[in-house]
Amino acid sequence: MYDPSFEHDSCGFGLIANLDDNASHWVVETAIAALKRLTHRGVVAADGKTGDGCGLLIKFPESFLRALGTELGLQLDERFAAGMVFLNQDEKLAEKVRYEIDTGIQSSGLDVAGWREIAVHPEVCGELALRTLPRIEQVFVNAPAGMARGAFNLALFLARRRAENRFQAIDPIAYIASLSSATIIYKGMVMADVLPEFYPDLRDSRLKSSVCIFHQRFSTNTLPEWRLAQPFRFLAHNGEINTIRGNRNWALVRARNFRSENLPDLSDLYPIISLTGSDSMSLDNMLEVMRAAGMDVLQAMRILIPPAWQAMDTLDPDVRAFYEFFDCQIEPWDGPAGIVLTDGRYAVCCLDRNGLRPARYVITNDRHITIASEIGVYDYDDSQVVRKGRFGPGEMLAVDLENGVLLETDDIHDELKS
């Protein structure tokens, strides 16, 4: 029988990023084209149009979202964020959830600039997807003058978690897919080839980004849901977290001992990870808590999904000390797992220490890197290829978008010990 605790995924994933952080609509278009070539990695219902879910995680397209806000007459300040929200089709329930989200945002010292109902084309959805199709809206949020981006995103995280805890009892269907000034998500229970038809925003040439994560979901032992389509707020995952029950339990038990200057009190954020979503969702929850506490994603992912460091005789002693210290604090989230992620600063791919989920990369002379669970997700001429390869067990590759640098496993280890 079905049990939510059995949620696992085995999917197709990838990312495309410009090494110099130059935004373009081409990156979004190419990610969509790559996603379409991963359709075979998903499941199709008997109606021929409903899938397990697919989507894109895009580095914040500020100029595009600002233009949309201006068209709606919204006053967007110098620093603003946008959230993607799945609401109930029942307007009374939707309004109650909007109120809780607005309250959570305002109680965190931020200003709600307004809401936008996103234009979608439900005719591309299958019968099963239509039964649970949410009302999809965006909320725009202004930061106080002078607030740093890191502090702003922390306030957004706290606002979202508080709002979620309040509206869960009102409408368990409601879901905040993303709320950030660094990234935004477009996803749903549609086939990959119609995602840009469902979301006309994705076809708008003004939507430009330097990083785009793409994911085609194939769930195992689970029922499709709009909220479970990937990517999640930071990552997309191919594989299964086979230690998920222990990881969830230990995270809950140790939550009261988690402390940082950024998060001195977690009491109003409990539970810190989802117990009813997929294993991928719980991993994403854990990553965002660690990120909110002040860790960068490179450090957090090396803690959550470490290499087999105990057997690495030539490992730098300082790096070994890093792994030994955090091994006492948190257990590895073991796969098989392949992960792609972005927080707007880094674009990252890593494999767990088992290395049983394939990932390959290609770097072209136009300074773009493409990483995917299989080769051939988009067309390029061999003469354009500067470098290509595959990931081995425990390896990590990251694009430092701020400095235009490609970081390999040893480079990341140097970062960890510095």
pLDDT at 4 over 60: no
Q: What is the pLDDT of residue 177?
A: 98
Mean pLDDT for the stretch of residues 322-344: 95
Q: What is the pLDDT of residue 133?
A: 97
Peptide bond into 306 cis (omega under 30): no
Q: What is the pLDDT of residue 46?
A: 82
**pLDDT greater at residue 213 or residue 375:** 213
- Asked if 114 contacts 140 with a C-beta cutoff of 8 angstroms, the reply is yes
> pLDDT per residue over 132-141, tens digit each?
999 999 999 9
pLDDT band at 224 (very low <50, low <70, confident <90, very high): confident
What phi and psi, each to the nearest 5 degrees, are found at residue 393?
-55, 130
Percent above pLDDT 70 for the chain: 97
C-alpha–C-alpha distance, residues 12 and 10, integer Å: 7
pLDDT at 350 over 70: yes
pLDDT band at 8 (very low <50, low <70, confident <90, very high): very low
**Mean pLDDT rounded to a whole number for the chain:** 93
CA trace torsion 24, 25, 27, 32 (10° rounding)? 170
Percent above pLDDT 90 for the chain: 83
C-alpha–C-alpha distance, residues 60 and 209, integer Å: 7
Surface-to-core class of residue 134, CB atoms within 10 Å of its CB (0-12 exposed, 13-18 middle, 19+ buried):
buried
387: CB partners within 8 A, 6+ apart? 362, 363
Give yes or no: 125 in active site: no
**pLDDT greater at residue 268 or residue 324:** 324
Which residues are paired to 44 by β-bridges?
51
C-alpha–C-alpha distance, residues 372 and 327, integer Å: 29
pLDDT at 268 over 90: no
**Domains in the chain, start-ordered, CATH in brackets?**
4-59+185-417 (3.60.20.10), 61-181 (3.30.70.100)
Q: What is the pLDDT of residue 220?
A: 58
pLDDT band at 209 (very low <50, low <70, confident <90, very high): very high
- Asked if 358 contacts 366 with a C-beta cutoff of 8 angstroms, the reply is no
Please tell me which residue in 11, 54, 349, 350 is annotated as part of the active site.
11
pLDDT band at 7 (very low <50, low <70, confident <90, very high): very low
Biggest CA-to-CA distance, the chain: 62
pLDDT at 6 over 60: no
Q: Token pair 């995952």 is at which residue?
A: 237
C-alpha–C-alpha distance, residues 154 and 166, integer Å: 19
- Asked if 37 contacts 378 with a C-beta cutoff of 8 angstroms, the reply is yes
Which range among 14-23, 264-273, 315-324 shows the weakest confidence by mean pLDDT? 264-273
CA dihedral sign, ordered 309, 311, 317, 321: positive
pLDDT band at 51 (very low <50, low <70, confident <90, very high): confident
Which residues are paired to 103 by β-bridges?
none
Q: What is the pLDDT of residue 265?
A: 80
pLDDT at 45 over 90: no
Mean pLDDT for the stretch of residues 378-396: 95
C-alpha–C-alpha distance, residues 134 and 92, integer Å: 14
Mean pLDDT for the stretch of residues 177-196: 97
Of 183, 223, 179, nearest to 15 (Cα)?
183
Mean pLDDT for the stretch of residues 307-315: 95
> pLDDT per residue over 226-249, tens digit each?
999 999 999 999 999 999 999 999
**How long a stretch of residues is the chain?**
418
Query: pTM for the whole thing?
Result: 0.95
Q: What is the pLDDT of residue 257?
A: 83
Mean pLDDT for the stretch of residues 150-172: 96
Mean pLDDT for the stretch of residues 391-402: 97
Per-residue HEC secondary structure of the chain comes to: CCCHHHCEECCEEEEEEECCCCCEHHHHHHHHHHHHCCHHHCCECCCCCCECCEEEEEECCHHHHHHHHHHCCCCCCCCEEEEEEEECCCHHHHHHHHHHHHHHHHHCCCEEEEEEECCCCHHHCCHHHHHCCCEEEEEEEECCCCCCHHHHHHHHHHHHHHHHHHHCCCCCCCEEEEEECCEEEEEECCCHHHHHHHCHHHHCCCCCECEEEEEECCEECCCCCCCCCCCCCCEEEEECCCCHHHHHHHHHHHHHHCCCCCCCCCHHHCCCCCCCCCHHHHHHHHHHHHHHCCCCHHHHHHHHCCCCHHHCCCCCHHHHHHHHHHHCCCCCCCCCEEEEEECCCEEEEEECCCCCCCCEEEEECCCEEEEECCCCCCCCCHHHEEEEEECCCCCEEEEECCCCEEECHHHHHHHHHC
C-alpha–C-alpha distance, residues 84 and 367, integer Å: 30
C-alpha–C-alpha distance, residues 363 and 369, integer Å: 4
Type of residue found at 265: D
Q: What is the pLDDT of residue 2?
A: 43
> pLDDT per residue over 74-128, tens digit each?
999 999 999 999 999 999 999 999 999 999 999 999 999 999 999 999 999 999 9
